Structure 1
Amino acid sequence: MVANDRFSDENGVRLNRLGITDPQALAQAETDSSLPRLERLNQMGGIQGGRYDQAHLKQIHQKLFEGVYQWAGETRADREFQGHKPTYVTGFKETMTYAPHKEIEQRLNAIGAQLGKENNLKGLSEEKFTERAAYYLDQYNHTHAFRDGNGRTLQAAFTQLGKEAGYQVEFSRIDPATLNRARDEAMVRQHAPQDAQRNLQPLKVMFQQIVSPAPGAAAEQLRDPNQARQSAPLSPAMAAMDARRELEVTGYRVMDVVANMPGAGNYERGVAVGKGVEATNLNPTAITTHLAQFQQAAEKISKHSGLQGPDAAQDRSDAKRFRTAAEQVQTIA
């Protein structure tokens, strides 16, 4: 059970309209209610006039889940829920942290605006559409707007995005485990920013399995290259979000490395790094307090005699990335 979870009762079961107190029964009721609603929404073409911002995603979430949850359409910000989730997608335990709940509206609107600069992916080849769809799905997933139901909400949003760009996007063609694994691999960002496409490759491959050109002259016109807009430079808001994500993913891995080093005090130093990363994630101005600590942790790893071999290449890379990200966050904070 998660502390301070105002979406759930005292036993950790989500508050619901049906009076269900068994989590398995509630999960089944949610599926039985939301999947037909998802199918109907997709058939209708999604939320007409949606701009892929907070208002758009909240409307989708409400339509999908209002049959079960009284909080359908509320973001995590409405009940001040933060949360994080573990994943073992790399073979090791990783911590997936989401956008600070206070920033959800700002972030969703920034992502929607960036997508709008690309004309909502109209005019792209199938190859390019899957590449850019992977990028944006990862951005929305990291923001993680809702307590539950993010996956189905994004399925509806990207089905609509595809239709409006001349493509059929059919998530039913893959099993949920494939989507979840690709999503998690993008979240943990094993590869450095200069190799960012490698982090998104599993999501792109996933989209390649579910995307196909929609039939008809109208869809063909939507794919006309004259409609395409070049990928615009990241807005300041998007660039800041990216720097902070880099700090998070590398910071928690640096925490683990330092905490597991032999020697007195290293465990405590590692824990302190983790707490500093969490504080900076929630409030980037905290970087002024923690920057020196982060730099020292990165240097400790890069110079450690036991971390110079090929088996520690990821650790050294993360340390270098962590230091760079910390200095970037200081600049933009």
Structure 2
Amino acid sequence: MSFLLNTDDVEDRDRAEFVHEALGATMVPIELHWPGHRRSVAAHGTITDLGDLTVCSGRTTAQRVERTAALARDSTEPSVFVNVQLSGSSMVVQHDREAVLRPGELIMYDSTSPYTLLNDSGMTGHFFRVPHSALAMPHDMIRAACAVRLSPGHPVASLTHDYLRRLAADPALPTAVDADLVGHPSIELVRAVIATHLRADESAAAPMAVTLRTRILEYARRHLHDPGLSAEQIAAAHHISVRHLYKVLAASGIGLADWIRTRRLEACRQALADDDAAAIGAVARRHGFSDPSSFSRAFRAAYGMSPSQWRKR
């Protein structure tokens, strides 16, 4: 699904507010500072959701973009942004760091802390939003990778830059069948760049290994609706053995089957409370339970009452 950002058909006096509202609704609330007279306010671009990845590609005449301390505390889903510079240069300021981004380079900033973007010729380029939950990296790693050029010249960074640039520039992608499937591998590339950068700066030891448990659980969370979700499937998605998968989770005291069942039951309990019209069996299937009888037994064992009793209460 795409949103077209175009100020050409908006009255001059309404353009600044239009852009402010549009970006706040599709990306993240920010403050934009425009040059001179209100007639100089212009923005053109496309904002597309590809699964967990949101792509904003275009240009504005805004020379300064800020996410203030107050905005950084809002209820917007915590996310990181990755910029791909197309021409000229821009600056990102966050965490008392300043970094100048030039074509061919990548830079990241975090929505949960104040930041400023500066470009004298107007903000132009490709901007990619990734929720913290999808990135699945510890916050201290995210913070360490913000407002710095991400391993310029490194093969992983160069590959990711070129891939993201082509992804954002492809006009056919937003309407392609199953375009959402592009989101996951794109986020994996972003994660690889961050890990590469942190290794290069010796900011963390083996960051991919450190985040493996988080990534395993995030993958499982996103596939709870799949009744066939298994240790074999999860291990294959992370290119590890089933034995290693269990070892990683056991180190945190997590049993995979119990973890999956608990999250599925929590989702069903919430759904039953929110929608009293849906059939109980349909709710169970929607959240990964293929057998209504086993679902009812598991629900009673977990909450001390049947699904229908919970709904009535």
Q: Which has the higher strand share?
A: 2
Q: Tell me if both proteins adopt one fold, taking TM over 0.5 as the criterion.
A: no
Q: TM-score, structure 1 length as denominator?
A: 0.29
Q: TM-score, structure 2 length as denominator?
A: 0.31
Higher relative contact order (CA 8 A, sep 6+): 1
Q: Which has the higher helix share?
A: 1
